[in-house]
Amino acid sequence: MRLERTSGFSALVLAMGFAVIHQGPLTSTASAQSLAEAVITQKEMVVTANPLATEAGAHVLRRGGTAVDAMVAAQTVLGLVEPQSSGLGGGAFVVYYDAKTGRLTTVDARETAPLSATGERFLDEEGESIGFLNAWQSGLSVGVPGVPRLMEYMHDQYGRLSWRALFVPAARLAVDGFELTERTSTQVAGLLGFNPEDGPRLFFRDPTSFEYFVNPDGTAKPAGTVVRNLPYAETLAQLAKYGADTFYNGDIADAIVEAVANDLNIPGDLSAMDLADYRVIEREPVCVEYRSFDVCGMGPPSSGGIAVGQILGILRPFDLGALEPISVEAAHLFAQAGRLAFADRNLYVADSDFVSVPIAGLLNDDYLASRSALIDPGRDLGQAVPGLPPGADSTRAADYRAKSSGTSHISIVDRYGNALSMTTTIESSFGNGVMIEGFLLNNELTDFSFRPADAEGNPIANRVQAGKRPRSSMSPTIIFDADGDVAFLTGSPGGSRIIGYTAQSIINMIDFELDPQEAINIPHYGNRNGDTELEEALPGITGPGDAASLEAGLVALGHPISIRALTSGLSIIQITEEGLIGGADKRRDGAVGGR
């Protein structure tokens, strides 16, 4: 595939006078069915799930900002223009490489459970689950947000530009207005469709969010509607002037506590003390060797770095490079590795500040080789059982739940050589549906197990506990070459499928030697220890090949098959001698920017 070398910016002009690089063939005669092509820049690059957020980050980079400066600008815009996915009311994980020191770190800004939370949080008086929908659309699901504290923490250490200046792009958009995207409008309509025709609303029950997203006649505001969000602009002004403390103390914190306590479905118990006590935590990266590369990601409370590392480690003995990316053999092996990794993930991984997680054992070479030996090239494993890695506690019960998620991903490389891979979320689409001060609250606590133990009383590692951070699948990843230099950045939204999307992107680039955009365009396949999922064809977005064409071959190997939309949002950057090569996922509204 030809790589398009970008010599300037295309002419999408925003109210603040910014421009953005679009992906794909930059010719007026390009077919509507042409696949997006990779973009090359020379100095710096940012990739996000929305062109306005990408341009905000690119604008900051052009002014000499660092990757962290660009992240703050991009995140605040994403929270405005892609509100179903992330925002000030949510949390995030960052994998960050500091070129000056050569240090790699990961920063945990996951939401925390209230100090009053117990393992019975999502059970009724009879000890039965209140159900996911009730929990999602309630005050019980709201954890303490981490994004504002994360942005300030990272900027204090790695920022270069003025803190205040980084909020200007989002504030201008909030005041001047922006067009609602098709993706946002469609998701609003989908959730409204779950409400009963008669009776109180569950989705968009909050009058503020209802007015913001929904027409007076009860239909979703259509794509293209110009939306303004003055309360969000005011919140950004407060953050710009006073820093993150203004979010965790004072009027904004009081508004969060009040909204949670007065939820129209089920009230919650988040307190002012919970907000005031919130801290981000730097943690050690989780790294695994794959071929001649070191693949580094986020450790607990994320399962992403461990599970991606396990998938790659399990696949090490197989010569994937001799196969085609879209082949029965490749899909079968990848699905088997996914089964084995998810079996371990569901049993062992949770917040390591509360439970012992055998990270070293799960990534131990001998243990991974023993798991790999379970794969039969001619037959599906069926549901895999967890292994017993070195250092593991075998008295636990598994948490098998796997949900979709409202999440986004940002990848940035700046002119100084710093690299940032960040996955950011408010959990399910539109979080818990309640909007205050211009942003939505998260429903992150539904990522916990709804039960503290199994029927035999064995504790579930991912049970609710006071102050605990729920397990996540977010997998921000930075990959280093044999010389220790940054080679790739990758990551994706997509709930528990994030693990497969991220691992597949790595294999596509390392084993199949595809460029970042080709790696994204390849149809997805994977297995979370259930059905083997194949992606529905998306003309003009996925290809070459159609994952659905794999069905007959995989069925012959015993795979249970589901064919469905697999809406990743991969943001990938490759660093080469020729420049930075970027790819963005057109399954969403991804765009690459930089120069």
With residues binned 3-state (H G I as helix, E B as strand, rest as coil), the percentages for the chain, rounded to 5, are 35, 20, 50
Measured distance CA(399)–CA(409) in Å, rounded: 25
Tokens for 281, please give them: 């935590």
Selected catalytic residue, list 54, 112, 407, 532: 407
What's phi and psi for 43, nearest 5 deg?
-110, -40
Token reading at 452: 């503290």
Helices (H), 288-363: 304-315, 328-348, 359-362
Q: How far is CA 262 from CA 374, 446, 492, in A?
A: 52, 19, 34
3-state secondary structure of 13: coil
Task: Label residues 245-265 b or e (16+ Cβ within 10 Å = b).
Answer: ebbbeeebbeebbebbeebbb
Q: Which residues contact 8 (CB under 8 A, 6 or more apart)?
A: none
CA distance 111 to 437: 19
Number of Cβ atoms within 10 Å of the Cβ of 224: 10
Amino acid identity for residue 255 in this structure: A
Q: Are 475 and 297 in contact (CB under 8 A)?
A: yes
Is the link from the previous residue into 301 a cis peptide, with omega within 30 of 0?
A: yes
Q: Is 173 exposed, middle or buried (0-12, 13-18, 19+ CB in 10 A)?
A: buried
Instruction: Take residue 526 and report the two structure tokens written for it.
Output: 């994977």
Mark whether 407 is an active-site residue: yes
The residues that are catalytic are 407
